[in-house]
Chains A and B, each alone.
Chain A
Amino acid sequence: MSTFIQSPFGQKIQKLSSLHFVIGCLLISTLYATVCNLAFTEGSFLHVSDYTISLFGKYLCYALLALAVDLVWGYCGILSLGHGAFFALGGYAMGMYLMRQIGDRGVYGNPDLPDFMVFLNWSEMPWYWAGSDNILWMVAMVFIGPGLLAYVFGNLAFRSRVSGVYLSIMTQAVTYALMLAFFRNEMGFGGNNGLTDFKEIFGLSLQNPSTKLVLFVATSVALCIGYIISHYIVSSKMGRVVTAIRDAESRTRFVGFKTEHYKVWIFVVSAMLAGVAGALYVPQVGIINPGEFSPLNSIEMVIWVAIGGRGTLYGAIIGAVLVSYAKTRFTAIMPEAWLFALGGLFVLSTLLLPKGIAGMLPASWAKGSEKENDGIEPSDNYENKRSESNNISNPAEAK
């Protein structure tokens, strides 16, 4: 391994930033899966089954969600145990749009109202679902819903300077409260059955394998875009400010930054990413119900990031995909033991891999592309300065 790193090829690879590598890996594996799904027939060694495609489409949604968690937790130190709420809100926005697309093909055949509303003897759409059959509005809602919740919650919590474990408990309470609210039939969100029975998206049948493939590719592209945005944020000065807030918030404040604004802002961006993940998730699994708000889900997201390695972005993706894959495998064998396995995995990774799986990768990646973006060469600048200002009284020169 060490000789590989020293070889010219290895050095070239090291110069690539994590951004190029992650995007490259994502696109290549998506391309590979797509080609192998379409070009090779079942039974062929290279064939990727439709089941695998839909499974990985789901994992990529989780990866985008984990990315959102890493952005606030890994970089800004806000341990949110309620990111499931943003994910579910995004999911509900998309779910309602799909619900409206069913039209008169529902069980009750009502062209205007979804089945669950007919079932409850509602005669018209409640006001908050106005425009839910308009795709543009619902896509906007995927951002607005989670973003607004994050904005209101963030403003209340961060302005009153709630932080640490208190904040985590509050985020947990928010998602729990939303879960209870969404369970209620009279809320108009489908009650405990949630929204399901979707027929088609943009005119493509959701039962059709090719639609699943399209959704898989779309999720992969969304993940890439989310990654690029997150990467840009964390390697900008903005990213250094939020890292500074994580490490020493009061110092950041006394340096002149309004830390509350920064925290709210990063929280809102993260919530929107989570909302997009939810919106892509719903058509792929075919259902959204209040169970998605369950605090357990939100804790699982944090565990993905912890196992993958927080504060790296790509660690979150690795963690989400690996843990979800393990979950799929494990729950097939011993469903009731999965939570113990997850807990054990978390304890083990905390003890043995405090920096997660990402901690095992080359250290030069760990800080992203910070080296490339400042572009300041210390030697020439400082040497010049030193010779210019030799006459200024300088305690350091005594060294």
Chain B
Amino acid sequence: MVVDKKGSPLLAEQNIKPDTRHGVILYVEDVSVSFDGFKALNDLNLYINDGELRCLIGANGAGKTTLMDVITGKTRPDFGKVSFGQQVDLLQLSESEIARAGIGRKFQQPTVFEELTVFENIELSLKGDKGIITSLFHKLSSEQKDRIADVLHTIGLAKECYYAAGRLSHGQKQWLEIGMLLAAEPRVLLVDEPVAGMTAQETERTAELLTSLAGEHSVIVVEHDMAFVRSIARKVTVLHQGSVLAEGSMSEIQSNPDVIQVYLGEDQG
């Protein structure tokens, strides 16, 4: 991995970009995590290509959220290797360093700063120096204001920009959280159940938003809603008992006998 003179890892803000010469932005190799003997992840291997939109599906307890926790530094694996591009070893970084390196995460429950306005929520999420001194004397530049306006426009909350985030509807909070990820200009977006609790119309718009993000960003979506997955997925990975059961396009997955047995089988039955 890339380190500076003191041996601490160099981050995106120091202009070290993940090495994606092989087209892969995220390597998860032989990762195992166990909680009190229960294997949440079991020798899991996953490669995410730069700019792709990947859907992760799996029954409850298949390890989807644990996988997200491992990638974002919340949970440390017992074994395995997780790296951002070829060189940046994510296991050496803290949650906030991983976030600054360019991996953004949206939680299952929409988590926004309720007492702050929509505008301020985005402001705090902007890419840039997150140190104390900078925060203390920080003034928004006009580029940053434009950037915030851009993001608000993308997520359709420009009109609500001076509302306290706590006043937004559930669906709007979900979008605001996605907007906060966008403001950080991440390379990889991890999105956990983005359409939970959304109306059909909101779901449709979220699908459009996520598809439009792929390409510029790599997007990993965890979702239970199969109709939603079908509407956005190009490539789907099925997790089962902490490992990858199958990977491929939606139609390949649907015709895979293992998958039918363990996951879709249950769905239909």
Which residues of chain A have a CB within 8 Å of any CB of chain B? 233, 236-238, 240-241, 243-244, 246-248, 250-259, 261-262, 265, 370, 374, 376, 378, 381-382, 385-386, 389, 392-399
Contacts and interface: CB of A to CB of B under 8 A. Distances in A.
Contacts of B47: none
Given A385-B146, A396-B205, A243 B99 contact: no
Contacts of A378: 119, 158, 161-162
Contacts, number: 132
B64 interface: no
A261 B150 CA distance: 30
A248 B113 contact: yes
A386 B96 contact: no
B99 A253 contact: yes
14 contacts: A233-B136, A238-B135, A240-B116, A241-B124, A248-B114, A254-B104, A255-B184, A381-B145, A386-B158, A389-B153, A394-B153, A396-B154, A396-B156, A396-B175
A374 B119 CA distance: 10
Interface residues of B, number: 51
**Quick one: which of A250, A255, A258, A376 has the most chain B CB within 10 A?**
A255
B196 to A, nearest CB: 17
Contacts of A385: 146, 149-150, 153, 158
Interface in B134-151: 134-138, 140, 145-146, 149-150
B149 A237 contact: no
B132 A247 contact: no
Interface of B: 72, 74, 94-96, 99-100, 104-105, 107, 111-116, 119-120, 123-125, 130, 132, 134-138, 140, 145-146, 149-150, 152-158, 161-162, 175, 177, 180, 184, 205-206, 208-209, 212
A398 B116 CA distance: 27
B120 A382 contact: no
Chain A's interface: helix, strand, loop or mixed, by majority? helix
Given A240-B124, A398-B205, A253 B146 contact: no
B153 A382 contact: yes
A238 B136 contact: yes
Nearest to A377: B145
A257 B114 CA distance: 17
B208 A247 contact: no
Contacts of B152: 382
